[in-house]
Homo-oligomer: A and B are copies of this chain.
Amino acid sequence: MTDTDDIRLCRTFQTAPAAVPKSDSAKYLVSALEAEGFRAPDWLVPDMEDGTAPDMKAEGLENTIETVPEYEFPGEIWPRVEWSYEDATFREKGTEQIDRLVAELGDEIDGVVVPKVGRLADVERAAAVVAEAEAEHGYDDGSIGLSIIVETGRARSDLREIARFGEDSRLTALVFGPVDYTAELGGRDLGDGRPRWDGLLEALSNEASAAGLLSIGGPFDDLFKERAGLTYYNADEYADQVAHETRLGLDGSWSLYPKQTIQANTIHMPTPAELERDVDKIERFNEAKREGTGAVTLDGQMVDEATFKNFENTVQQARTIHRTRPGQTEEYYDADLLERALELELSYN
């Protein structure tokens, strides 16, 4: 999170399989593209990698190329292609997919998501593939972004170096991939699930923040729960995971399902009470400054730069959401509060 006006928003990174074995193979992709309000993710990721079966990848690419331009999707579009640091076949497939996507959808997509990257050199190789497609099809340098899934021991080992490369490159987001990561390290589920990999999450948040990148948590796939004869959506555990990621400063969470998107969009948004509280504090701080008295204390608490930065973070996040998703802020906040948040002067000095 930064305090500039061009915060990039990715509260929700929703993958949708680009092709499924149904009569309408683009069914899930279309349904995600049609989502509205809180069901629409900030980033929609048409997935032609692990979410799409090996024999349907080609169809997934065609579905993406055909359907994306048909919708005015309110968020960003970031297709996920194939790749592997340890297998040139997958890199060749990924290179072709990236080339086709830029050729056909260069104006519609914000970037591509590359999975299973290895050390820094492999990330640079992926960035070079995007650069080449971009140049080949006449797009401006840097106009097509790159986000990566951190899911190998090598990418974790080089995370700091990869993030620093991201400071001045098209690299945009670092996304965690816990299933492959656990398999790579040889971690075994002994009946109580995977580790949460807290050290990795802390590093992901830190390195992304230090390099001005976004950090996104991994998918939660226990979508449903059974209890007392009933099967129901596992809302609590997903919310717990998203809340944990929010506390650690991750910018967004992975969603596999519209209900998850609603939850992650909401948790990564200041609550009305938080926004009200921080808008109020900044208004009173500004007022005191104008009167030239006591600008430094509010309710007996000193307002220093660190405290002020926290109030400001809240307001900036609401403004950024409003800029791209006004339907959500208008639904979630009282009209008067929203207006105050938008008009506030944000300056400590």
Contact = CB atoms under 8 A, between A and B. Distances in A.
Interface of A: 1, 21, 50-51, 53-56, 119, 152-154, 156-157, 160, 163-164, 179-180, 182-190, 192, 194-195, 197-200, 202-203, 205-207, 209-211, 243, 246-249, 251, 270, 295-297, 302, 304-307, 309-310, 313, 349
B296 A54 contact: yes
A310 to B, nearest CB: 5
Nearest to A188: B246
A186 B247 contact: no
B50 A306 contact: yes
A188 B152 contact: no
A29 B164 CA distance: 42
B209 A1 contact: no
A119 B211 CA distance: 11
Nearest to A50: B304
Question: Does more than half of chain A's interface fall in helix, strand or loop, or is it mixed?
Answer: helix
A210 B305 contact: no
Given A197-B202, A198-B198, A205-B185, A190 B156 contact: no
A306 B190 contact: no
6 contacts: A1-B186, A54-B304, A186-B251, A187-B248, A192-B247, A199-B203
Nearest to A192: B247
B247 A206 contact: no
A68 to B, nearest CB: 23
Given A157-B160, A210-B156, A306-B50, A189 B247 contact: yes
Given A188-B246, A199-B198, A202-B200, A309 B156 contact: no
Contact of A313 (B183, B206, B246): B183
B310 A210 contact: no
- Find the residue from A153, A163, A186, A313 having the highest chain B CB count within 10 A: A186
A313 B184 CA distance: 9
**Quick one: copies of this chain in the complex?**
3
Nearest 7 Cβ contacts at the A-B interface: A1-B186, A185-B249, A153-B210, A53-B296, A187-B249, A153-B209, A199-B202
Contact of A306 (B154, B180, B200): B180
- Find the residue from A56, A163, A184, A200 having the highest chain B CB count within 10 A: A184
Given A190-B243, A199-B198, A247-B188, A206 B306 contact: no
Given A195-B248, A243-B190, A183 B310 contact: yes
Contacts of A192: 247
A232 to B, nearest CB: 18
Contacts of A189: 247
Contact of A186 (B182, B200, B249): B249
Given A50-B304, A199-B203, A203-B199, A209 B183 contact: no
Contacts of A205: 185-187
- Find the residue from A182, A185, A202 having the highest chain B CB count within 10 A: A185
Contacts of A182: 249
A179 B203 CA distance: 17
A123 to B, nearest CB: 14
A183 B53 contact: no
A195 B206 CA distance: 13
A50 to B, nearest CB: 4
